[in-house]
């Protein structure tokens, strides 16, 4: 299956994409995670994009479309994939269509996850991420275990993303409204859009996603 998980920051795209990726045996391709890795490894790409990430702005379309074109020809993406955080502009969606055309691939579905804005801000300012495996915690809803060890991998370092501050979250939400939301119209016209509410327990949302995609959980 070739899927896009869509929605503003903090609705649980990454969390749900990770779960579906392991259940369906297809990779999760997160442009944000790829860019953050490049920044932390100080590669040429990382140095070019770090300012955009820190300010909550979108990196230029061409750069991100080229990055996705490279990801989609990787061996593990041949059975399908979940795009998480891409496309974020209409030109990116057009660029993706162009790549699909070249590779003779078809997009199966775009899944929009929505959550009220107040909840998003609360989720993100309190988000902490295991540095080793990426498991997400939340100081209010899912605190870091008392022994200080990640439940998934035993890691002991937890990150507060530099763009998860209230000011940058507001900026990212504004960017979503101004530049990203229009992508919904692009896929709506092609009848590719399904919607789920993300303001529920993680496993309830997962179940609703399986139902929305009409696949067995």
CB 9, CB 169: distance < 8 Å: yes
The Cα–Cα gap between 191 and 6 comes to 15
Question: One of 18, 36, 88, 128 is an active-site residue; which one?
Answer: 88
Minimum distance from residue 49 beta carbon to ligand AMP (Å): 7
Question: Which of the residues 127, 128, 177, 195 is marked catalytic?
Answer: 127
**How are beta strands 127-130 and 193-197 bridged, if at all?**
unpaired
Whether residue 57 lies in the annotated active site = no
Nearer to ligand AMP, 26 or 45 (CB): 45
- Give dist(CA 155, CA 149) in Å, integer: 5
CB of 216 to ligand AMP, least distance (A): 28
The kind and range of the H/E element at 111 are strand 109-114
From CA 137, how far away is CA 145, in angstroms rounded?
A: 9
Question: Please, which residue, 16 or 31, has the CB nearer to ligand AMP?
Answer: 31
How many residues can be counted in the chain? 217
Cα 189 versus chain centre, distance: 22
State the minimum distance, in angstroms, from the CB of residue 100 to ligand AMP.
16
Could you tell me if 27 and 72 are in contact, meaning their C-beta atoms sit under 8 angstroms apart?
Answer: no
The answer to whether residue 161 is catalytic is: yes
Q: Nearer to ligand AMP by C-beta: 59 or 196?
A: 59
The residue number whose beta carbon is nearest to ligand AMP equals: 32
Angle (nearest 5°) at CA 5 between 13 and 103: 140
DSSP 23: H
Closest to ligand AMP by CB, 107 or 215: 107
Q: Are 80 and 215 in contact (CB under 8 A)?
A: no
- Annotation says 36 is catalytic: no
Active site residue 172: yes
Angle ∠(63,185,89) on CA atoms, nearest 5 = 15
**Could you list the residues that contact ligand AMP (CB under 6 A)?**
9, 31-32, 35, 52-53, 56-59, 64, 85-86, 88, 92, 163, 172
**Smallest distance, ligand AMP to C-beta of residue 214, A:** 26
* Cβ proximity to ligand AMP, 9 vs 198, nearer residue: 9
Catalytic residue among 13, 18, 36, 128: 13
Query: What is the closest distance, in whole angstroms, from the C-beta atom of residue 123 to ligand AMP in the complex?
Result: 12
| Residue 88 annotated in active site | yes
Give the residue numbers marked as catalytic: 13, 88, 127, 161, 172
């Amino acid at each position: 299956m070739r899927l896009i998980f869509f929605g503003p920051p903090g609705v649980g795209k990454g969390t749900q994409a990770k779960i579906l990726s392991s259940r369906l045996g297809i990779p999760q391709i997160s442009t944000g995670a790829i860019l953050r890795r490049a920044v932390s490894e100080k590669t040429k790409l990382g140095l070019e994009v770090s300012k955009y990430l820190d300010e909550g702005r979108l990196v230029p379309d061409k750069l991100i479309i080229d990055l996705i074109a490279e990801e989609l020809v990787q061996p593990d993406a041949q059975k399908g994939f979940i795009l998480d955080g891409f496309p974020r502009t209409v030109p990116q969606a057009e660029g993706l269509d162009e790549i699909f055309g070249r590779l003779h691939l078809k997009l199966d579905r775009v899944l929009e996850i929505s959550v009220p804005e107040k909840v998003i801000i609360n989720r993100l300012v309190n988000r902490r991420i295991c540095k080793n495996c990426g498991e997400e915690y939340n100081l209010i809803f899912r605190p870091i275990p008392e022994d200080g060890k990640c439940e998934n991998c035993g890691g002991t370092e937890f990150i507060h993303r530099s763009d998860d501050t209230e000011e940058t979250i507001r900026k990212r939400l504004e960017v979503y409204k101004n530049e990203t939301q229009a992508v919904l119209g692009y896929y709506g016209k092609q009848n590719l859009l399904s919607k789920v509410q993300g303001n529920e327990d993680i496993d309830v949302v997962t179940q609703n996603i399986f139902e929305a995609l009409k696949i067995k959980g």
